[in-house]
Amino acid sequence: MTSTTRMHWRFPLALLAISAIPFAAGIARLAGLLGSPQVNAGNARFLAAPFPVVLHIMGASLFSLLGALQFSTGLRLRYPRFHKISGRIVALSGLIAALSGLWMTVVYPIPTGLQGDLLYVVRVLVSTSMLVSIVLAVTAVMRREIGKHRAWMIRGYALGQGAGTQVVVLLPWMLFIGTPSVLQRDVLMTLAWLINLCIGEWAIQRQPEKNFSFI
C-alpha cells in the first residue's frame, strides 16, 4: 500500500472503526429479538413492536458502513460504478434509519432513568435534521449541484454516526468518573453529535471538492 493510498483510506478506515461499535451492538440486539427471549425492562418495547428497531439497525448499519467507503477518493475514482450504486444505497438506508429512529423516539416508551427530556428533544432534532439533510443532498445531486450535495450528505452522515461517537465520549466518563446521571448522560450523548457536526463542517470546508458525489 503506497503512502497516497494510505492517506486516501485513513479517514474511511477510522469511520469504519467507529461504525463497528454500533454495528456489533445492533447485531446483538437483533440476536436478542430472535426466538423466544425473556421479556425485561430493557427489551419489552422492542419485543412489543420489533419491526421499527429491525429497520433502524439494518438502515443505520448500511448507512454507516457503506457511507464510510464513500469518503475513499481512490475507490471513488477506480470504481465509479460501485461508488454510485453504493451511494444510492447509502441515501436510502439513511432515510430508513432517520425515519425509524424518529418513530422509536416518539412512540417507544423509554424506561425510567434511561433518557431525560433533553435527550428526547435532541433525538427528535437529530432524526429530523438527518432526514432533511439527506433529502436536500439527493435534491442537490439531481440538479447537478455537486458541492451542495456533498455538504448536505456529510452533515447527514455526521448525524447518523452519533452512536459510535457516543461510546467514545461515554466510556472515559464511566471509567474515570463513574455511571453518569440521567442529565449527564443526556449532555454527553448530545456532545457526541455536536462533535460529529463540527468534524463534518471541518471536512466540508477543508476539501470542497466540486466533483465529489455520494450518489
* Domain membership flag for residue 28: yes
Residue 211 inside a domain? The answer is no
81: in domain: yes
- Alpha helix (H) ranges present in 108-181? 117-142, 146-160, 162-176
Its domain, for residue 104, covers 3-206
CB contact burial 81-112 (16+ within 10 A = b; e otherwise): eebeebbeebbbbbbbbbbbbbbbbeeeeeee
Residues with Cβ within 8 Å of residue 4, at least 6 apart in sequence: 74
Question: Looking at the domain assignment, is residue 212 inside a domain?
Answer: no
Tens place of pLDDT per residue across the chain (215 aa): 554 455 567 888 889 999 998 899 899 888 888 776 777 777 788 888 889 999 999 999 999 999 999 888 778 788 888 888 999 999 999 999 999 999 999 998 887 778 899 999 999 999 999 999 999 999 999 999 988 999 999 999 999 999 999 999 999 999 999 999 999 999 999 999 999 999 999 988 876 555 555 55
Nearest 5°: the CA angle 94, 99, 32 is: 85
In angstroms, the CA 62 to CA 89 distance is 8
pTM of the model: 0.88
What's the pLDDT tens digit per position in 92-118? Answer: 999 999 999 999 999 988 877 788 999
Number of folded domains in the chain? Answer: 1
Contact 83, 76 (CB under 8 A): yes
The C-alpha cell 447527514 sits at 156
d(Cα 164, Cα 192) in Å, to the nearest integer?
A: 9
Please report whether residue 139 resides in a domain: yes
Is residue 213 one of the residues assigned to a domain? Answer: no
- H-run or E-run covering 184: helix 182-206
Q: Could you identify the residue written with the cell 457536526? A: 197
pLDDT of res. 4: 47
Query: What amino acid occupies position 10?
Result: R
Distance CA 129, CA 98 (A): 9
b/e sequence 144-182, b meaning 16+ C-beta within 10 Å: ebbeebbbbbbbbbbbbbbbbbbeebbeeeeeeeeeeee
